[in-house]
Amino acid sequence: MLTVACALAAALGIVGEVGDQVGAAVAAAGPLHRAAPMPVTVSYGSDPNQMITIYPSQTPGSRLVVMVPGNGFRSISNKEAMSARALQSAGFTVFDANYRGATSMTPAFPNALNDIVSATEYAIAHATAYDSDPRHLTLLGGSAGGHLVAVAAEAMNSVSPGTVSNAVTLSGPFDFALGIAYWSKKKGPVAAMHLNNQLDALGCLSAATCPVALENMWSPDQHITSTNCPAHWLLLNSKREETPVAQADGMTGAIRAANCQVVELIIPGSKHGFHYLADEQAVVTSFIAIN
């Protein structure tokens, strides 16, 4: 375990003493599939979609992870239970947060952002009760959840810098204007689905009539600053998946322009979002463990 973790640290560009810390932290987390406490589901608001399933750590002071599923900016409950259990077994306390997403009548924003912020505030307030340390908070999201992680981290750190220590995204679409333009040019049911998801998230009837100002308002790559930026970012994207690599590249450029630390990993294959977390779990857990 220690040797593998140090190799991963080198792959991430984390060398020397810090690289040794990666190995030690991952080794201390123990086996990835050891027995763990049973999950608990709680409400953080009055809406049925404002629910969190909590996967407690076995060790007091563990890293705190708030996990955000995707599903095209639409509500879904406990979709990523297997990923949450894997992270719990790696030594973290995981709050798997659902939220009010887009419907045929209501856009995702601002409700989805407000809900992820509220869910994260709940996780911080109750962290110690589930053996985790809110001073080491990671927001982890896949697909649309990666987008929500970025906007929530920016919003929370704008109010209180440093609240969110780390942001980890899997296939995150960070720029609505880029995404809508990209999917408008594609043909077929998959392209239509992604285009409709993004338009519905914003409450737009069509790509042609969707205001650029609205697209930019909810695009996290347009609002990152040195003040609201989490200290560490890890962006993962597959080479041939649904979310184009240009989305990760653009967000990475914006983060670097704000003088913040980011690691962007473009991996082989065509898996999307949490579907490739199992393949990259060692990288993700190593990143969380030292930050």
| 20 in the same domain as 154 | no
| CB neighbour list of residue 20: distance below 8 Å, 6 or more residues apart | 6
| 4 in the same domain as 147 | no
Task: Tell me the per-residue pLDDT of 138-181, one tens digit each, with 9 for 90 and over.
Answer: 999 999 999 999 999 999 999 999 999 999 999 999 999 999 99
The answer to whether residue 291 is domain-embedded is no
| 80 in the same domain as 7 | no
The answer to whether residue 290 is domain-embedded is no
* Residue 4, both tokens: 């593998």
Average pLDDT over residues 180-193: 96
| 135 in the same domain as 93 | yes
The answer to whether residue 206 is domain-embedded is yes
Which CB contacts under 8 angstroms, 24+ apart, belong to 18-21? 18/290, 21/290
| 232 in the same domain as 148 | yes
| 231 in the same domain as 250 | yes
What is the DSSP-derived secondary structure letter of residue 222? G
Q: What is the pLDDT of residue 97?
A: 96
pLDDT higher than threshold 90 for residue 52: yes
Task: Tell me the per-residue pLDDT of 72-82, one tens digit each, with 9 for 90 and over.
Answer: 999 977 678 89
pLDDT higher than threshold 60 for residue 220: yes
58 pLDDT band (50/70/90 cuts)?
Answer: confident
| 80 in the same domain as 124 | yes
| 152 in the same domain as 18 | no
| 221 in the same domain as 265 | yes
Q: What is the pLDDT of residue 33?
A: 45
17 pLDDT band (50/70/90 cuts)?
Answer: very low
Q: Which residue has the higher pLDDT, 242 or 28?
A: 242
Name the residue range of residue 106's domain: 36-285
Please give the tally of structural domains in the chain.
2
| 275 in the same domain as 146 | yes
Q: What is the largest distance, in Å, between two alpha-carbon atoms of the chain?
A: 54
Q: Give dist(CA 179, CA 190) in Å, integer.
A: 13
Average pLDDT over residues 8-35: 46
Q: What is the pLDDT of residue 37?
A: 86
| 217 in the same domain as 144 | yes
